[in-house]
Copies of this chain bind each other. A is one copy, B any other.
Amino acid sequence: MSRKPTMEDVKNLAGVSISTVSRVINGTRKVSPDKTEAVNKAIEKLGYKPNELARSLVMKRSNTLGIILDDIGYGYMAQYLRGIDEIGKMYKYDILLYSTFGDFEIQKKAVDFLSSKQVEGIIVISEKINSEILYLIREHEIPYIILDQFYSPEEFKTITIDYKQAMYDMTKYIIDNNHKKIAYVRERSSSYSAESKETGYQECVDDFNLESWVFNTPENSIEAGYNFLEKNIKKFRDYNITAIVADSDALAIGMLHYFYDNNISIPEEFSITGFGNTEISELFKPSLSSVRMPYYDIGAIAVRMLVKILRESEEFEKSINLKHEIMERETVRKLKK
């Protein structure tokens, strides 16, 4: 059980000073070829690996980014993390994760934890983060970026998509397929993204002067979508609604489950769309038309921005909008004119 070799060991074996060892490792200064070789040989022989903890301590740079997120299990989280991870590695930053399950107390803990781990920056990914948390991060004087859909991009700088335009485009896609009577189904909540999406929908149906109904569900989940239709399918039929625009994939999948269980063929009897382009939207049959959020890119850019702030101590001046994409799949039927 031999102790891990340190620079001290390398120094002794190579017969040089400890400073020289450091120089060889970091290439910070010129070192004569023979000493360089001696050091490298010693390193090789000992299997020496620098202790990053000690290095971070003296350099006051942990090379670590902290991520505060609700739950790693959310389908899109992995995509965010891939983007963050990949670009993070590119800039030699490591990622420290902290799951909070959306709990305020745990979120506070997360900030303290990451701070004590000396992370250089923090990315907050949450469906709804209490603004107090953001102030707490500020107190710690750690640069941060939030990836959130609750506040407006003016209020808190973020990287996002143009929700209004995205839902406008989705609605337009429905209309282009000649649907005249459309229902919009959303969770009853007042997040910025939810409001924007509804506005986009509304503007589009107004622009085309179509009949439209807006419905609320108590929450955003598959069950909520299912229960919603159970209660309202009759209305849909009475109103001759032919297309349903859901504000999330979960709601849409819930409705598809209802349709399946009740032998209602999709898209023959109803067309339906989701939002988010989660994995299930692609794998479900019929596959669900949805709006793709560029999660990977959002994560990637978040890191880029953070690194920029860190390196150049610039401010994050304005929110960035990335492009969304309408994924046309099997749940939308083209009606005759």
Contact = CB atoms under 8 A, between A and B. Distances in A.
Contact of A49 (B49, B115, B260): B115
Contact of A78 (B2, B62, B78, B280): B78
Interface in A88-115: 94-97, 99, 112-113, 115
A47 interface: yes
A209 interface: no
A118 B1 contact: no
A285 interface: yes
Given A94-B96, A96-B96, A285-B256, A116 B72 contact: no
B82 A78 contact: no
Instruction: Give the interface size bracket for A toward B.
Output: 35 or more
Interface in A51-95: 51-54, 56-57, 62, 71-73, 75, 77-79, 81-82, 85, 94-95
Interface in A123-145: 139-141
Interface in A20-59: 47, 49-54, 56-57
Contact of A280 (B2, B53, B116, B283): B283
Contact of A95 (B1, B2, B81, B97): B97
A8 to B, nearest CB: 14
A253 interface: yes
A2 B140 CA distance: 10
Contacts of A49: 112, 115-116
